[in-house]
Amino acid sequence: MEQHRHRLLSLLLLLVWPPVFLAPRAQPEEIPKVDLSKLSLEDLLPSLPFESRRALAEREILQPSTEDLVSAWKVDAGADDLCRLNAFSAAGAETVLHLPPSHTLDTNLSKDDFLLCVGGRLGVDVCAGGGACRFCGHVVDAKGRHAQSCMAGGDAVALHNGLRDLLLDYCTRAQLRPQAEAPGILDGHRRPADILIRRGAGLLPRLPDGSRPLLEPLALDVAVINALGESHWDETLRGSHEAVSTYAQHKRLHLQTESTCRQAGVTYYPLVWDIHGGSTPETRAWLHPCAGRALRRRRAAAAGSSLTAGLAAGFLLEP
């Protein structure tokens, strides 16, 4: 019986052999290439057994994406949490935590500064609240928001003037011939320009409305707000840049400043920042070309100094 079965298997093998091994081989299909640098563990999940996926989840190796975490967080988040998320999601708000610490460049954060930056992002208490502000009498909150927006005591003015002087220094290095607090632009005592640039068209490819500027003086009006303050909280809840953009428009319309400057032959251009680092798109559109021009002038001056020093050394070494 066993011998008969072996003979039957041999016959079947002979019958199957020719079509399988003698038939022309089909060309293998091209295997699609996979970019391993973009391949994540989640992409392999469909090919993993259920037990393997559960083991990865239990060992916390398989983590949800950032988008999934934010979406899940928004479900239970309150209005103040969403407002805080918008404020710190604005372009530029993360810069303060990415700067290399340096005492020379004044980018070194103290322990209190770092705790305030991180605490504000997490929404935790950073100071004792409930008391009255010693400058304006307003109730102080534990999140530190009133301290960042209080207009009494001189801190807001000092911050504004410090930012103005920093921009003035950039404009000077860029050889734009700036003038701080230029008088005589408008009638009366109004000074709409914290910094006046006589010919600023090269820094403005296009105005906010899309038009190209003329070769006329540029009045830069510097402003700093607190997007989480009481005056701007509602706008920040609507979007990341709503507060700074709304305030920039307010600056243009207040006392018809923009139209009055236009009649005087001056382009009015507000530069608005948020205390947390955000700013209007127009502010970034002006600042980046200005900084680039200052850097090019600095490199050109350094190259000129090196050339002058080399020529002087050559004269000294001549016999």
Q: What is the pLDDT of residues 50-68, one digit of tens each?
A: 555 555 555 555 566 677 7
Distances (CA, A) of 258 to 220, 261, 276: 11, 5, 27
Query: Which region holds residue 277: left if phi is over 0, alpha if psi is between -120 and 50, else beta?
Result: left
pLDDT (mean) for 143-172 = 91
Give the integer Cα–Cα distance in Å for 207 and 205: 7
Give the integer Cα–Cα distance in Å for 26 and 43: 30
Look at residue 49 and tell me whether its pLDDT is greater than 50: yes
Give the integer Cα–Cα distance in Å for 81 and 77: 6
What are the structure tokens assigned to 166, written together? 């920093």
Percent of the chain with pLDDT over 90: 34
pTM above threshold 0.85: no
Query: What is the predicted pLDDT for the residue at 21?
Result: 42
Distances (CA, A) of 82 to 31, 147, 230, 245: 46, 21, 15, 18
pLDDT in tens, 69-78: 778 888 888 9
Look at residue 157 and tell me whether its pLDDT is greater than 80: yes
Burial label for 249, CB within 10 Å (0-12, 13-18, 19+), is middle
